Structure 1
Amino acid sequence: MSADTNPAEQYFSTIAAALAGLEIFMRDDRSPLYNQGIAAGIVAGYIGRLENSFSCWRNRLGFAETFKISRAESGFPVFQNLLELENDRRQANQRLASIPEPNELRNEMADFILRHKEFPAALQKQMAERLYLEAVKDGAIFSPFVLAETAKVSVNPKTFRPYYLVHWASFDGTANLPLIYMATVEDSSEAMVNQLVRQDGKLNEQIRIPLPVDGLLNPELAHRFDDFTEMNSAYSLSPTTIATNLDKDFETLHPKQLRRVVLGPFYSAGITENNSVVTEVLSKVRRPANAWLLTWTIQEVFSKSEKPGHRGLWSSEKATQEFYINTDDLEAARQGVSSYEKHALIPHEAYQALYASGETEKVFDGYKVHILSKGQVINDV
């Protein structure tokens, strides 16, 4: 998409409104993740990263020529934009050193206007680039891959193993979709069991753990875990495949639950072309700022049982998980999950337009619909 002022501004305004609305929904006590401990807060943190990224991209248009989105599919930026953002983050200090300080630029701009009686476009671009680089350097952005973090530590009273709630994120370069992962993983490594589990089977509170911890809590496996998650976070892999691979690749790690939140597709009138019915109806919404629709899917797979391992004289076998896939639900079986939920968030004005067109049942079949109205989310429509 060309960085033409009107469509670009509309896209950034609508995606900003959608992400802000999604954050409101995630923090609502009726959210499906709200009652599951800190899961909603984790997702909200990644939404914040996305918001920062979009803010940076918006600033980047002040000196860059183009910004491309996946208009016909996800409605999110194409992967190249994330690579450029990450590259700019790494080079920010070096590039900032070659750009004058803001006050110096302002003085130069004022002097240019007085002497030439015209707008200092080149200086304005330098100022825009400086503001962009400062924002990229200092803010947490949604990188192509966001390394894992341990958010919670506890002990399974049945197995007497410590378990971690670990989360990470990736932006799928093929589907152009942001993906958020959360996994509950038990750790049977002798060192961690001895360190974290008391004799009564409870968490050793004398061990101070400054949560959140960067990476997997087990330091001996942290780098391997980062490598694994980076290689196993593609949208094309089902949650069950990822959990099974994790179970196979780590002898002492036992994944009990894996949850994936797939953000998108996103629809914006006059910008995206990913659904003809939605596009046509949204084009009739009076205010362009309300002509959008954001969807997301929550997928989950959990272990229904564990096959015990054994150590023998000639061979040994690790404990393995048996993951539950709901074969009674064709869509769950297709996705390779125990369960899933499809959600849609839409402004009140856009929902009214869909309702008036008689298309709500067709567009929202299988979705839980949430309407954004006056800064609040109305659920279960």
Structure 2
Amino acid sequence: MSAETDAATRYFDAIAAALSGLDIFMRDDRSPLYQHGIVARIVAEYIGRLESSFSCWRNRLGFMESFRISRAESGFPVFQNVLELENDRRTAAERLAGIPRPDEIRAEMADFILRHKAFPSALQKSMAERLYLEAVKEGEAFGPFTLAQTAKVSVNPKNQRPFYLVHWATFDGTANLPLIYMATVEDSSEEMVAQLVDREGKFNKTVRIPLPVDGLLNPDLAHRFDDFTEKNSAYTLSPATIAVNLDKDFETLHPKQLRRVVLGPFYTAGITEHNSTVADVLSKVRKAENAWLLTWTIQEVYSKAEKPGRRGLFSREQSSQEFYINTDDLVAARQGVSSYEKHALVPHEAYQALYAAGEAEKVFAGYKVHILSKGQVISDV
């Protein structure tokens, strides 16, 4: 096994273990996010997409030797890999038609070995490419941008407006980080109020909505909302900026809360280089599959009040949200958020190594630490 192949194997083993551990954490009823059950469920869906992507990329190494990750920054694959995976998804059916079926390839491989007394490398690559394309075609990967879905619909009893919990995701091409967005948005458009709110100002239970619904529930605004989210989901934009832009661009949509989950950075022993202290300690972990550290950040901005709109004889001003930014916390103010949480997930063996080296307190300063041990996640350590 070459050094490059060995490094790739260690990386894929580590990221698979990390995403599996994160999925366990999200589904655990002791998880901080589980108190908002639907939030944990949404994040778990996108973790599943990431797991599918990494499974496909691993298969792709069977016939393509190049695979680059952001070693000095995010620890995730570079954006080009995400674009290539999306392109392969679109062309998979056409390419599969030109590759023999698996049983035919196996028969050819057996015949080649018997006749040439050698290993059929070219046929092995054809088999690897076929398995890869089948997985890409059938699976739901984490693409460059995932269109919004409406996951919840209800009515605000204070103002009798329907509101939606909408989520979408993007893989930021500059930071090489997966980003998950969730927004709670009230809708004051006359058509949706008439359909979704009954005479008592509550949700109209006679309306059957098969959740989740692709796109924003309001059909008149769904395409515009997709365009907006695709243009306003970059990591360089603060949650407050995105929320303000949404508030300005849609007169009848009123964003009350925006949450962004930033997955990463991810640290792997001997591969990533973005923290020398972490790298040095992780390199001493006995089992390579336990020599990793996954971090993520949850950012939130919410509206503390709504400024009513005004209509005059010659001018009009739409209502606007007053978003709360915690200026008492310099980090929150710099991020443009009301609040934030930094989390770290680490295998028990790696945590022990960091602790024994006297580095745990420094490495995890400001983080909520979660330790993965024997298929369970232990928090609040």
Do these two structures clear the TM 0.5 threshold for a shared fold by scoring above it? yes
1:212 maps to 212
Secondary structure at the aligned position of 2:234 is classed as: coil
Counterpart of 1:364 in structure 2 is 364
SS at 1:337's partner residue? coil
Residue 39 of structure 1 aligns with an amino acid whose one-letter code is V
SS at match of 1:23: helix
Is the CA contact (8 Å cut-off) linking 1:3 and 1:66 kept in structure 2? no
Q: Residues 69-84 of structure 1: matches in 2 within 5 Å?
A: 69-84=69-84
Percent of pairs with identical residues: 80
- What is aligned with 2:123? 123
Rounded to whole Å, the distance in 1 between the matches of 2:115 and 2:321 is 74
In 2, the alpha carbon distance for the partners of 1:68 and 1:3 equals 15
Residues of 2 paired with 1:362 and 1:212: CA distance? 42
TM-score (norm 1): 0.99
| CA displacement at 1:10 relative to structure 2 | 0.2
Secondary structure, counterpart of 1:154 in structure 2: strand
Corresponding residue number in structure 2 for 1:65 = 65
In structure 1, C-alpha distance between the alignment counterparts of 2:337 and 2:30, rounded to whole Å: 23
Counterpart-to-counterpart distance in 2, 1:242 and 1:195: 28
Q: SS at the partner of 1:210?
A: coil
Matched residue type, 2:93: N
2:93 aligned partner: 93
Distance in 1 between residues matched to 2:242 and 2:357, nearest whole Å: 41
Q: Distance in 2 between matches of 1:193 and 1:102?
A: 55
For 2:200 and 2:138, how far apart are their aligned partners in 1? 45
Cα deviations across residues 278-330 of structure 1 (Å, max 9, x unaligned)? Answer: 00000010111100000000000000000011222211111100000011111
SS in 2 for 1:76: coil
Give the structure-2-normalised TM-score: 0.99
Mapping of 1:170-209 within 5 angstroms? 170-209=170-209
Structure 1, unpaired ranges of 5+: none
Equivalents in 2 of 1:204, 1:113: separation in Å? Answer: 68
Which residue number corresponds to residue 148 of structure 2? 148
Please name the residue that 1:320 is paired with.
320
Cα offset, 1:31, TM superposition: 1.6
Q: Residue 315 of structure 1 aligns to which amino acid in structure 2?
A: S
Is the Cα contact below 8 Å between 1:154 and 1:164 reproduced in 2? Answer: yes
Distance in 1, matches of 2:145 and 2:106, equals: 37
CA distance in 2, matches of 1:288, 1:58: 17
Structure 2 matches for 1:1-381, cutoff 5 A? 4-381=4-381
**What is the deviation of 1:3?**
8.5
CA distance in 2, matches of 1:288, 1:117: 35
Where 1:151 maps in the other structure, the secondary structure is strand
Gap runs ≥5 in structure 2: none
Residue 65 of structure 1 deviates from its aligned partner by 1.6
The answer to whether the Cα contact below 8 Å between 1:3 and 1:65 also exists between their aligned partners in 2 is no
Give the aligned CA root-mean-square deviation in angstroms: 0.9
SS state at 1:264 partner: strand
Alignment length (residue pairs): 380
Q: Distance in 2 between matches of 1:219 and 1:316?
A: 25
Instruction: Please give the alpha-carbon distance, in whole angstroms, between the structure 2 residues aligned to 1:275 and 1:376.
Output: 27
Partners of 2:3 and 2:158 in 1: how far apart? 57
Structure 1 consecutive aligned stretches of length 4 or more whose deviation exceeds 6 Å: none
